[in-house]
Homo-oligomer: A and B are copies of this chain.
Amino acid sequence: MKDNLDVECENVHSFIQDTLYVVNGKWKLVILSILVNKGTRRFGELSRESGISPRILSRELHELEMNQLISRRVCNTKPVTVEYSSTEYAETLKEVIGAMIRWGQNHRKKIKGQ
């Protein structure tokens, strides 16, 4: 399907695709924006705050954890609670998250004005 003739040209595109591979889907950046900008959250809090159903949230959190963007901490409460926090590495995504928030704001303004 894709040949290797254009290796140099494709570098920029593949950087974008690398990023998309990590933060793909409807929810990962939403989850990260909560944890990065607002701080630690429990599973149920995240679910309510974002509107993500438990099954999806569980999967997304696993994937984010695998990419070292969030950390999971089990608390010795009864019943057990779990805290999710963004890692230092997630801080490097602030530029991306911020850019998307700003663009979304501006875009909504534009759409409303039409």
Contact = CB atoms under 8 A, between A and B. Distances in A.
Interface of A: 1-2, 6, 9-10, 12-20, 22, 24, 26, 29-30, 33-34, 37-38, 48-51, 53, 89, 92-93, 95-108, 110
A6 B47 CA distance: 12
Contact of A108 (B15, B38, B48): B15
A9 B49 contact: yes
A12 B26 contact: no
B104 A16 contact: yes
Contact of A16 (B9, B16, B101): B101
Question: How would you classify the secondary structure of chain A's contact residues: helix, strand, loop or mixed?
Answer: helix
A1 to B, nearest CB: 7
16 contacts: A1-B51, A2-B51, A13-B30, A15-B100, A15-B104, A17-B104, A18-B104, A18-B108, A19-B103, A19-B107, A20-B100, A24-B26, A92-B106, A95-B103, A96-B99, A99-B99
What 3 A-B pairs are tightest by C-beta distance, nearest first?
A15-B104, A2-B51, A18-B104
B18 A33 contact: no
